[in-house]
Copies of this chain bind each other. A is one copy, B any other.
Amino acid sequence: MITVTILGAGNVATHLYKAFTKANNVTVSQWYNRSLKPLNHYKNEVDITDDLNHLKEADVYILAVSDDAVAELSEKLPFENKIVVHTSGSVNVHDLDKKHNRGVFYPLQSFSKTAQLDFANVPICIETVNKPDYHILKALALAIGSPVKKVNSDQRQVLHLAAVFVNNFTNQLYRIGHEITESEGAEFDLLKPLILETAKKIQDLSPYKAQTGPAKRNDKKTLKKHLSILNNQDHKAIYNLLTKSIQKTHNGR
């Protein structure tokens, strides 16, 4: 049995709490937040607190708080030599106070409080300052059904950066697709199967091999036509830049 204390009550904390509660060999011994309000809903299931001095003994303390709060909160913890991890893609493991056995338990997914999420689809990237601590964090991730990967700080940073490209930026391309279609009274919904297929395709095929379209074919007529349809200058600039990027990747232009 692994005992865990969760600190924070946001998206990640809430999803982790639910997953740990369902897991066989994990007990959430306590849930802390600086204010009790978001925790009150769970007070009949788990010991909740807003007082760091009331924190009980646990195998692992998970700081699922805003990036900027990680360092300060870790400092304020009134104990030492326990495993303390944060869940951030970009905070350095050394930002945690060095009185702790420091580590990172970074879930590489996009969480929102409402949406359901199966942790089988949430790879956990683990880093530990002390080698032996890796095993207990790995066991914790496996207990909730997540794939596990040992990832150092540099790798975690580029994963977080790459996540911005494939998640935030991709979503913005969907947004632009939405604007373009609705501006002509066409339905964005018609693009949804294509969007899903595009994401599914690269589950087995490299994005390099999966590429198609006028930019890759250097189909000048279509490229010109598309630019003439776009009347938003920002969309034009994005069209030009990503077209160039594709051509550089595929034709060395």
Indicate with 1 or 0, residue by residue over A181-206, a CB within 8 angstroms of chain B CB atoms. Answer: 10111111011111111111111001
**Chain B hits for A177, CB < 8 A:** 162-163, 165-166, 207
Contact A175 B249 (CB under 8 A): yes
* Contacting residue for A123 out of B115, B193, B203, CB 8 A: B193
Q: A162 CA to B178 CA in the complex, in Å?
A: 8
Question: How many residues of A are in contact with the other chain, CB < 8 A?
Answer: 90
**Chain B hits for A239, CB < 8 A:** 164-165, 169
Contact A191 B168 (CB under 8 A): no
When all copies of this chain in the complex are counted, the total is: 2
Listed in ascending order, the chain A residues whose CB lies under 8 Å from chain B are 67-68, 90, 108-110, 112, 115, 117, 121-123, 125, 147, 149, 151, 154-159, 161-178, 180-181, 183-188, 190-203, 206-208, 210-216, 219, 221-222, 225-226, 229-230, 234, 237-239, 241-242, 244-246, 248-249
A and B contact pairs by CB, cutoff 8 A, 29 listed: A68-B221, A109-B197, A149-B187, A149-B190, A157-B184, A158-B180, A158-B183, A158-B186, A159-B186, A159-B190, A162-B177, A162-B178, A162-B180, A163-B177, A164-B214, A164-B226, A166-B173, A166-B194, A166-B195, A166-B198, A167-B194, A168-B215, A169-B239, A170-B195, A172-B249, A174-B207, A176-B245, A198-B199, A241-B241
